């Protein structure tokens, strides 16, 4: 299309104003010079109100479609190892992947606050675009709204993912059975500690970086290693951390779990930061880890496949599913005692993702 703006946006010193959300020429300029430039793909180039997408081969071969969505409000917007942009891509790709599906497309809704620096928006959008390209999951439709100063907080991003799964692949939180093995794909707490380290109120020194990453490649490797039914449950322990995710699965499947604290991989720096802040690492968010519940006879092969993948090198068997009417997560502590890993209680960690 012919460009017909008086002058290009000032991407260095410009700011979002209410016109960018009004649907007129300023909105279109923002879309073209920031979003379309970064996300460029044939679907967006059509310039229509939505995207027209081919039917994926797995769908034609008896598979099913999968969708998941996630809102992102992380504060601060930039943190060691990532930012709200790549996070909003990884988070939703992971939700789709945890359904056993191959993620194919993303949609993205931005809610921007008046006065938000265009330079920050460009940085966020470029990070999203890079994450989306690396994952092979394009952003095919989008929307931008603007609220007045004080009615938002810089930049919120809601993404929805669409994927497709083979007919026999149906991992679910409802499928855990007594005797199954509980696996975590790597160290826990990295994302939450990285974000908290940037909060003004909590400023502390650490070199911990967010683990934010797209896990669909790891899931694919796991699914190729064993029969699909052997992978009962996949879930990414984001908000609420590992402790919450284990409780969710136990509740959905009406089982309990026994977990060995010493088996849970944790970076020493994360452990130190949690001690300093008085936080329990079990409830700290992760953005590039998954919990898998697998059939006991498949556990070794799943672990081997995970260890061979860059995002699963530190995967570990951390416990097993047991019959328990109370659906308790019992953890054998490093000191030989036992504690119940309850649902998150006490102060929540706001805006961690």
Torsion, CA 153, CA 119, CA 157, CA 53, rounded to 10 = 160
Check binding of 82 to a copy of itself (CB under 8 A). Answer: no
The residue (of 201 and 335) whose beta carbon lies closer to a copy of itself is 201
Which segment (92-100, 186-194, 201-209, 215-223) binds a copy of itself by CB under 8 A?
92-100
**Interacting residues with a copy of itself between 321 and 350 (CB under 8 A):** 343-345, 348-350
**Interacting residues with a copy of itself between 97 and 116 (CB under 8 A):** 98-99, 101, 105, 107-111
Q: How far is the CB of 190 from a copy of itself (least distance, A)?
A: 17
Contact between residue 262 and residue 145 where contact means Cβ atoms under 8 Å apart = no
The residue (of 156 and 273) whose beta carbon lies closer to a copy of itself is 156
The residue (of 128 and 269) whose beta carbon lies closer to a copy of itself is 128
Q: How far apart are CA 101 and CA 93, in angstroms?
A: 9
The residue (of 216 and 269) whose beta carbon lies closer to a copy of itself is 216
Check binding of 59 to a copy of itself (CB under 8 A). Answer: yes
Check binding of 239 to a copy of itself (CB under 8 A). Answer: yes
Give 151-174 as a DSSP string: SS-SEEEEEEEEEEE-TT----TT
- Candidates 82, 85, 138, 161; binder of a copy of itself (CB under 8 A) is 161
Q: How far apart are CA 322 and CA 310, in angstroms?
A: 31
Q: How far is the CB of 147 from a copy of itself (least distance, A)?
A: 6
Which segment (67-75, 213-221, 263-271, 314-322) binds a copy of itself by CB under 8 A?
67-75
SS (H, E, C) 68-117: EEEEECCCCCEECCEEHHHHHHHHHHHHHHCCCCEEEEEEEEEEEECCCE
Check binding of 162 to a copy of itself (CB under 8 A). Answer: yes
Cα three-residue angle 227-232-235, rounded to 5 degrees: 120
Instruction: Collect all residues with Cβ–Cβ distance below 8 Å to 29 and sequence separation of at least 6.
Output: 5, 9
**Interacting residues with a copy of itself between 186 and 225 (CB under 8 A):** none
Cα three-residue angle 142-145-150, rounded to 5 degrees: 145
The residue (of 126 and 248) whose beta carbon lies closer to a copy of itself is 248
């Amino acid at each position: 299309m012919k460009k017909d703006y008086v002058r290009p946006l000032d991407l260095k010193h410009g700011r979002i104003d209410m016109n960018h959300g009004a649907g007129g020429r300023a909105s279109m300029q923002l879309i073209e010079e920031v979003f379309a430039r970064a996300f460029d793909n044939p679907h967006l180039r059509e310039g229509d109100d939505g995207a027209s997408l081919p039917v994926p081969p797995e769908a034609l071969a008896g598979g099913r479609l999968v969708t998941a969505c996630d809102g992102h409000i992380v504060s601060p917007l930039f943190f060691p190892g990532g930012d709200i942009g790549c996070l909003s891509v990884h988070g939703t790709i992971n939700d789709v992947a945890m359904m056993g599906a191959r993620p194919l497309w993303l949609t993205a809704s931005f809610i921007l606050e008046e006065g938000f620096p265009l330079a920050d928006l460009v940085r966020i959008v470029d990070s999203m675009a890079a994450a989306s390209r690396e994952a092979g999951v394009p952003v095919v439709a989008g929307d931008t709204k603007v609220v007045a100063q004080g009615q938002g907080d810089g930049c919120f991003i809601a993404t929805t993912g669409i994927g497709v799964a083979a007919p026999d692949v149906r991992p679910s939180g409802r499928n855990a059975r007594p005797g199954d093995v509980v696996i975590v794909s790597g160290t826990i707490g990295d994302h939450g500690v990285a974000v908290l380290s940037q909060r003004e109120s909590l400023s502390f020194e650490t070199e911990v970086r967010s683990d934010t990453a797209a896990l669909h490649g790891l899931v694919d490797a796991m699914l190729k290693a064993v029969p699909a039914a052997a992978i009962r449950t996949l879930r990414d322990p984001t908000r609420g951390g590992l402790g919450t995710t284990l409780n969710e699965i136990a509740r959905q499947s009406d089982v309990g779990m026994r977990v060995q604290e010493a088996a849970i991989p944790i970076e020493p720096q994360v452990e130190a930061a949690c001690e300093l802040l008085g936080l329990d690492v079990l409830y700290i968010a992760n953005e590039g880890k998954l919990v898998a519940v697998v059939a006991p006879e498949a556990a070794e092969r799943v672990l081997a496949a995970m260890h061979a993948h860059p995002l699963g090198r530190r995967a570990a068997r951390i416990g097993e599913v047991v019959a328990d009417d109370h659906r308790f997560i019992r953890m054998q502590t490093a000191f030989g005692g036992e504690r119940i890993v309850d649902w998150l209680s006490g102060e929540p960690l706001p805006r961690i993702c």
